[in-house]
Structure 1
Amino acid sequence: MASKYRITEEEQTLFRETVRDAVPLRNDRVSPYRQRPRPHPQQQERDDREVLRDLLSDPLDPADLEIGDELLFARPGLQHTVIRKLRRGHYSVRAELDLHGLTSIEARQAVVEFLADCHRRHIRCVRIIHGKGNGSMNREPILKRKVAHWLRQRKDVLAYASATPTDGGTGAVYVLLRRAR
């Protein structure tokens, strides 16, 4: 396609004289005015803050503790058939956490991380093995009481009940979690 504009010899000479001292650029990329911020793991920081908050809010309320060996808790409005099925071990346990050998601080963190992972994986029923306290001082089930208290604090826990004898009996608890949205 022919150009409508013709450059005269005089214009060419003038252009060459004007750009004679120009030095070619080594890099033709332009740096942005502001550099992009580095990626920031906001969800991880929120999870870490929640773990810290949960670790620091651990006063035991005697009213929260169960009487006897068996643990049982259900949020208001949960159907009785759901609670009965949970107590009888009719729900499929999709994940489990064993707290044997952990201190209460380690156990608390492990429970929080385990439940968060279950929530991400859309798992509804889990088993937490807290033990019967046979290895603790005075043979008291310290972790059992604390696990019950921690689970009551969490809004994602709908119910929990001591496991059947084949799944650990009063040394373990079935936990029914709220559906992930």
Structure 2
Amino acid sequence: MITVHAKNGLHYWQFYPSQKNDLLTMNKKKFALEDGDINLFKEAIRGAKKIHQDQIVHAPIREKVTQPSRKKIHQEQVDASFYFSDEFQPQLDNDGPTRFLRPDSNPYELKKLRRGDYVPELFLDLHGLTQMEAKQEIGALIAACKRENVHCACIMHGHGKHILKQQTPLWLAQHPDIVAFHQAPKEWGGNASLLLLIETTESARR
């Protein structure tokens, strides 16, 4: 039996459980396929194989990065190179490979740099640059590392007694965002390069 309830001029139908089952059975019979139709369908798809999609490669969705203006980049470069004085001579250990550790940093960072545990993400080649140009480029590198949250970078200053080989460590040791640097492993240039760790927003949280 179906009962009808009137409420606010609207009618609501209520089915008893046995009636619900009868309706479901009727619907199944109404839309059921006959054996002949099922056999015909099976015959039509016999031998069909699943196609594996390997032609379209979807690029990963990357977060949109807002590019800073040229003026802002230049100002970051100027600010970063402000610390590089030719007159101030920080005390560096001259025994062994070139290295530096900021006083508040973990000594283990130097060991990891020496072993090559860190892989540089940005590289700077100073060959052919004047001291002024080199300062500006190093300042730009540090600014880019902080902007892009790059913790490790590599500076290639060259071999021998080139002035930039001598000055680059002295400049870097003056910058407050340089956590450490060490003569690079052979795969990153050996004694012609320095691997440096830059303090970034992400590295400071670690």
1:73 pairs with 2:94: no
1:158 pairs with 2:179: yes
Structure scoring higher RCO (CA < 8 A, sep ≥ 6) equals 1
Cα distance in 1 for partners of 2:111, 2:86 equals 29
- Equivalent residue, structure 2, for 1:170: 191
Inter-CA distance 90–59: structure 2 relative to 1 (3 Å threshold): same
Match of 1:106 among 133, 136, 144: 133
**Could you report, residue by residue, the CA deviation over 1:27-64 in whole angstroms, capped at 9, with x for unpaired residues?**
xxxxxxxxxxxxxx985675365367446x32152x53
Where do residues 15-164 of structure 1 align in structure 2 (5 Å cutoff)?
43=72, 46-47=75-76, 50=79, 53-54=82-83, 57-61=85-89, 64-67=91-94, 70-133=97-160, 140-164=161-185
Cα distance in 2 for partners of 1:52, 1:73 equals 18
TM-score (normalised: structure 1): 0.64
SS at 2:123 equivalent = strand
Cα distance in 1 for partners of 2:187, 2:107 equals 23
SS at 1:153 equivalent = coil
* Native 8 Å contact 1:98 1:130 kept in 2: yes
SS at 2:155 equivalent = strand
* Native 8 Å contact 1:97 1:127 kept in 2: yes
The structure whose residues are more often strand, as a share, is: 2
Cα distance in 2 for partners of 1:106, 1:69 equals 28
Inter-CA distance 132–60: structure 2 relative to 1 (3 Å threshold): farther
Inter-CA distance 112–131: structure 2 relative to 1 (3 Å threshold): same
**Could you report, residue by residue, the CA deviation over 1:105-135 in whole angstroms, capped at 9, with x for unpaired residues?**
11111100111011100000000001113xx
Unmatched segments (≥5 aa) in structure 1: 1-40, 134-139
* Native 8 Å contact 1:60 1:146 kept in 2: no
Deviation at residue 77 of structure 1 after TM alignment: 3.3
Cα distance in 1 for partners of 2:198, 2:80 equals 18
Indicate the RMSD between aligned Cα atoms, in angstroms. 2.5
**Higher mean Cα deviation, 76-85 or 45-54?**
45-54
Inter-CA distance 101–45: structure 2 relative to 1 (3 Å threshold): closer
Unmatched segments (≥5 aa) in structure 2: 1-69
SS at 1:173 equivalent = strand
Cα distance in 1 for partners of 2:147, 2:174 equals 19
Identity across aligned pairs (percent)? 32
Count of residues in Structure 1 that have an aligned counterpart in Structure 2: 134
SS at 1:64 equivalent = coil
- 2:122 maps to a residue whose letter is A
Cα distance in 1 for partners of 2:105, 2:144 equals 24
SS at 2:181 equivalent = strand
